[in-house]
Amino acid sequence: QVQLVESGGGLVQAGGSLRLSCAASGRTFSSAGMGWFCQAPGNEREFVAAIGWSGGTYYADSVKGRFTISRDNAKNTLYLQMNNLKPEDTAVYYCAARRTLGILDKAWGYDYWGQGTQVTVSS
């Protein structure tokens, strides 16, 4: 079993930055594909970014050039650096982990989920 705990959300003005963290425990973190998803009220959960075991990354078009996903395998921690935030980025952000190594932009391919952290961007 894997436990994921997100932190770092909050309220920020448009153009500001936040750094989300996801602490993982219970399984070998370094061999798992990891990702960030977000869900706004009334919307489905959407892909934000993913990172493979070797550090390869993939981003949703809406966040390319603004968000950076990274991982520290020694600390069993996943990060999402969010710059130039926009009001449309407002959502609950979820950390997710796969049992396999690869990158995937589909929520159904992830086996473990955190409880989510709220990000609110004011205009």
Q: List helix spans (H) across 1-123.
A: none
Q: Which residues of 29-58 are buried (b: 16+ CB within 10 A; e: fewer)?
A: beebbbbbbbeeeeeebebbbbbbbeeeeb
Spatial distance between the Cα atoms of 65 and 123, rounded to a whole number of angstroms? 20
Please report where in the chains the tokens 């982990």 appear, as a residue: 97
pLDDT tops 90 at residue 20: yes
The mean per-residue pLDDT over the stretch 85-107 comes to 94
The mean predicted confidence, pLDDT, of the chain is 94
pLDDT at 121: 98
In this predicted structure, what is the pLDDT of residue 53? Answer: 84
